[in-house]
Amino acid sequence: MTPQEAAAFLTAHDNYLILTHVRPDGDTIGCGAGLCRALRQIGKTAYILENPEITDLYTGYVEGLTIRAEPVGCTVVSVDIASRSLFTDLAQPYLDRVDLAIDHHPSQEFFAKATCLDSKRAACGQLVLEIVKQFADITPEIGEALYVAISTDCGCFQYSNTDASAHRAAAELMESGFDPYPVNRKLFRTKTFKRLKLESMLTAGMELRDGGATALVFLTRKMIEEVGAGEGDMDNISAFVGQIEGVKNGVTLKETGDGHVKISLRTDPGDLNASRVCALLGGGGHAAAAGAMMEGTMEDVRQAVIGAMKQVRNG
Ligand SMILES: [Mn+2]
């Protein structure tokens, strides 16, 4: 589906239930909030399905927009969700019931009846902007939500996915009238003290390989408990390792506490395809940022990741 067709679909139906992905980031939340507000603006009934994993950084954006139980005869739309494995527990009843998926992941698995996919977009928020501006005014609230989607997914316009069109979309959203300074300060220039402590622990336990081009960091339950960190203190912590000079491939392994380890891989463009590595581990994502979830100990998963990286590099 093109953005034009998606806009036509959204104006033709009603009673929307919007789904966001597990471990929600700024893109999925910003898209959900922006889309929900745009649909309400044109008189539609629209809700975002409650996401139990949302962190403090993003709760404000969905205030008054969420619902726990399903509206009758709803039209289900997912935003920024690449596969069924990324559905939250509450979204499980909708695995086969998504009417429209709006996404930008090359690893999109086409679980929905219709899909509006553009894998060239830095953020799903760019696609949602293109869709909603065809039927709604970009109010400051919609503008801020979609700005959060775009700016977080391209690391405040620093990641390799950042291009002129991401900047243009951000500029267009800023013109809606919200104040970008507090948003940028909160999202990109503020760290909790607990976060800094965790980063120092990650640094102390870092493993460097390939002459320093590959770095692995290990976030254990013990560290998290010692610091008393909440999920909000760990938002986007997988971006940390890539900030070290010389590191092209940054691996963050995080114990989930239920016998699984979450893998996040960030790579330099053209060096190693992160999505292909994570596909070997049962996950997916983008060429420069991908993830997977594996059962096992930190050491099991460490070896699996190193093996998968070698396999992709040699294959
Ligand atoms: Mn995204």
Please state the domain extents for the chain. 3-188, 193-314
The answer to whether 253 touches 298, Cβ cutoff 8 Å, is yes
Residue with tokens 């894998």: 119
- What local confidence, expressed as pLDDT, does residue 121 receive? 96
- CB neighbours of 310 closer than 8 A, spacing ≥ 6? none
Domain 3-188 has CATH 1.20.120.140: no
pLDDT digits over 140-162, tens only? 999 999 999 999 999 999 999 99
If you measure from the C-alpha of residue 21 to the centroid of ligand 1, how many angstroms do you get, rounded to a whole number? 10
The fraction of the chain above a pLDDT of 70, given in percent, is 100
If you measure from the C-alpha of residue 13 to the centroid of ligand 1, how many angstroms do you get, rounded to a whole number? 25
Q: Is the dihedral of CA 4, 6, 9, 11 positive or negative?
A: negative
Mean pLDDT of the chain: 96
Here the tokens at position 129 are: 């902007």
pLDDT digits over 120-132, tens only? 999 999 999 999 9
**Residue 69: pLDDT band with limits 50, 70, 90:** confident
If you measure from the C-alpha of residue 65 to the centroid of ligand 1, how many angstroms do you get, rounded to a whole number? 20
If you measure from the C-alpha of residue 226 to the centroid of ligand 1, how many angstroms do you get, rounded to a whole number? 31
If you measure from the C-alpha of residue 28 to the centroid of ligand 1, how many angstroms do you get, rounded to a whole number? 6
Amino acid identity, residue 310?
A: K
Residue with tokens 């590959």: 214
Burial 65-83 (b: 16+ CB within 10 A, else e): bbeeebeeebbbbbbbbbb
Q: Is the predicted pLDDT of residue 113 greater than 90, yes or no?
A: yes
Q: Helices 180-188 & 140-153, crossing angle to 10 degrees?
A: 30
If you measure from the C-alpha of residue 79 to the centroid of ligand 1, how many angstroms do you get, rounded to a whole number? 9
pLDDT digits over 169-186, tens only? 999 999 999 999 999 999
Q: What residues pair up with 290 in beta bridges, in sequence order?
A: 265, 285
Q: What is the pTM of this model?
A: 0.90
Domain 193-314 has CATH 3.10.310.30: yes
